[in-house]
Amino acid sequence: MLENFGNIMEMVKSLQQSVNHVQERLQNERIEVASGDAVKVIVNGQQSIVTIEINSKYLTPDNASLLQGLLTATVNNALAKSREIQQAAMDKLAGDLNLPKIPGLF
Domain range summary for the chain, segments of one domain joined by +: 2-96
**Inter-residue contact 106 to 94 (CB < 8 Å):** yes
With a CB cutoff of 8 Å and minimum separation 6, the contacts of 54 are 38, 39, 67, 71
Residue ranges of the chain with per-residue pLDDT less than 70 = 1-6, 99-106
Give the up-direction half-sphere exposure of residue 94: CA atoms within 13 A in the CB hemisphere.
14
DSSP lists the bridge partners of residue 42 as 32, 51
pLDDT value of residue 16: 86
pLDDT value of residue 67: 94
CATH class of residue range 2-96: alpha beta
Amino acid at 22: V
pLDDT value of residue 98: 73
Structure pTM? 0.73
**Inter-residue contact 69 to 38 (CB < 8 Å):** no
pLDDT value of residue 104: 61
CA distance 82 to 65: 26
- Residue 74: enclosing H or E segment and its boundaries? helix 64-96
- Residue 5: enclosing H or E segment and its boundaries? helix 2-28
